[in-house]
């Protein structure tokens, strides 16, 4: 049965319809699915989404791709994206995403996936498509969007100056000043406009002051 599944399902991640199609020669395909799950040959990530079991995989599955599939439309952002882009040092186990739907979390056999709701205008800006070797892709926030989304999620930080904001970014989010200086202030300003956020405008102004081009001009 495994070889039959692999002939029709090329990837480690697959949906319920693909699974049914691969078992269409069986009289009772749903019973076969129950048997496959019981034996651990396939794993149900959530209703309608599956992986091959550990002993059946040809290659590692992609957790980032799963994050997009578990809840959509969504884009990986916040803490996970900040670490992915090398802005924060700590490894993040939960894959964090933003969505224009309601906030929710999923505990699955392959980890936790968290989704936070943001406005549609803010969701649709600053998204990059990361291509996989097999031709598929997943959506990931660019560094500026990941930071903006994270700053907007923080309640009650009470910063109104660039100095206070820089201290928050350094001390609370563990992002060093050199990493911040590599961000694009114009991108942040566009994201701030989408959010209609004074806090993000302050962030864009801070990044512009830290930006090497701006520093070169000040020393000219």
Residues in the chain, pLDDT under 50: 218-220
Domain holding 34, by residue range, is 2-56
Q: Are residues 8 and 91 in the same domain?
A: no
Q: Are residues 153 and 197 in the same domain?
A: yes
Residue 219 lies inside a defined structural domain of this protein = no
Indicate the pTM of the whole model: 0.92
Q: Provide the angle, in degrees to the nearest 10, between the axes of the packed helices 212-219 and 198-210.
A: 60
Edge-to-edge strands, sheet with 13-15: 13-15, 49-52, 42-46
Q: Are residues 107 and 186 in the same domain?
A: yes
Residue 220 lies inside a defined structural domain of this protein = no
Q: Are residues 186 and 94 in the same domain?
A: yes
Sign of CA dihedral 46, 48, 51, 56: positive
Give 94's contacts (C-beta < 8 A, 6+ positions apart): 79, 80, 111, 112, 113, 114
Residue 218 lies inside a defined structural domain of this protein = no
74 contacts 115 by C-beta, under 8 angstroms: yes
The pLDDT value recorded for residue 109 is 97
Structural domains counted in the chain: 2
The pLDDT value recorded for residue 220 is 45
Of 31, 56, 81, the domain-final residue: 56
Q: Are residues 39 and 93 in the same domain?
A: no
């Amino acid at each position: 049965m495994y070889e039959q599944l692999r002939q029709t399902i090329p990837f480690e991640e697959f949906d319920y319809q693909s699974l049914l199609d691969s078992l269409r020669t069986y009289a009772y395909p749903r019973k076969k699915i129950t048997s496959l799950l019981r034996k651990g040959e396939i794993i149900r990530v959530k209703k309608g989404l599956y992986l091959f079991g550990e002993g059946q995989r040809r290659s590692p599955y992609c957790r980032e791709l799963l994050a997009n599939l578990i809840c959509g439309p969504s884009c990986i952002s916040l803490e996970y994206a900040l670490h992915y882009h090398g802005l924060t040092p700590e490894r993040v186990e939960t894959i964090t995403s933003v969505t224009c739907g309601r906030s929710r979390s999923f505990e699955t056999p392959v980890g936790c996936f968290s989704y936070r709701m943001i406005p549609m205008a803010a969701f649709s800006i600053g998204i990059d498509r990361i291509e996989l070797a097999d031709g598929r892709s997943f959506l990931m926030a660019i560094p500026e969007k990941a930071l903006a989304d994270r700053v907007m999620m923080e309640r009650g930080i009470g910063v109104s100056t660039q100095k206070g904001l820089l201290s928050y970014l350094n001390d609370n989010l563990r992002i060093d000043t050199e990493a911040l200086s590599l961000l694009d202030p114009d991108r942040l300003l566009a994201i701030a406009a989408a959010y209609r956020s004074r806090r993000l405008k302050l962030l864009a102004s801070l990044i512009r002051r830290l930006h090497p081009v701006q520093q070169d001009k000040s020393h000219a």
